[in-house]
Amino acid sequence: MLKEFKEFATKGNIMDLAVGVVIGGAFQSIINSLVSDIIMPVVSVITGKVDFSDMMFTVGNASIKYGNFITAVVNFLIIAFSIFLVITYLNKFNKKMEAISLGQVEKINKKLGKEKKEEPAPEPTVKICPYCFTEINYKATRCPHCTSELKKIESKN
């Protein structure tokens, strides 16, 4: 069981996920700083020096801090948009690299004389009886449904 866990933990996908989580945590602290130290003060200046972190209302003994929620929503939107931009860029980059590699493979094949050869179409397995229009085996000489004699189809080979 320990051996299976070791194989699972050392697979590329798990390692990629671990690196992603670590980088994501660092990225989140950067975005939190951006929102709380730069964006929210600018929004406060625009809205009349309102500090969002102090925005709350009290119901009984409970205080509902909707200002912190607004800040968290702004954090989420910035993180989601940043990830969207990175993924979009990476997808475009991967498509370009794939096109380049396919072009290189085609060039190498041309140099080696290994151009793509068109494969012949496979021989059909069924045909339609011209008398009763039922589907029958391609090599049949008589229709099993209407018993009509069929013209023999010569093979192209």
Contacts of 140 (CB under 8 A, 6+ apart): 127, 150
Share of the chain above pLDDT 70, in %: 87
Q: Average model confidence (pLDDT) for the chain?
A: 79
- pTM, entire model: 0.46
Residue 36 DSSP code = I
- Overall residue count recorded for the chain in this entry: 157
- Domains in the chain and their CATH numbers? 10-112 (1.10.1200.120), 119-152 (no CATH)
